[in-house]
Amino acid sequence: MSLKKVALWIFIITLTLFASACPKRVKIGEIKADPGRFENKDVAVAGTVTDSYGISVPFRDEKGGIYEIEDESGSIWVVTDRAVPGKDIQLGVKGRIERGFTYKGKNYGLVLIEEGRKYRKD
Q: For the chain, which residues make up each domain, given as ranges?
A: 25-119
pLDDT tens for 19-46 read: 445 567 899 999 999 999 998 889 999 9
Amino acid 28: pLDDT? 95
Amino acid 20: pLDDT? 47
Q: Kindly report the backbone phi and psi dihedral angles of residue 59, in degrees, each rounded to the nearest multiple of 5, phi listed first.
A: 65, 10
Range with lowest mean pLDDT among 13-17, 31-35, 103-107, 111-115:
13-17
pLDDT: is 1 or 51 the higher one?
Answer: 51
pLDDT tens for 45-102 read: 999 999 998 876 565 666 788 999 999 999 999 999 998 999 999 999 999 999 888 8
Instruction: Measure CA 86 to chain center.
Output: 16
pLDDT: is 9 or 42 the higher one?
Answer: 42
Cα gap 99→1, rounded to integer Å: 51
Q: Specify the CATH number for 25-119; select among 2.40.50.140, 3.40.50.1110, 3.90.1200.10, 3.40.1160.10.
A: 2.40.50.140
Amino acid 44: pLDDT? 95
Cα gap 60→98, rounded to integer Å: 28
Amino acid 120: pLDDT? 81
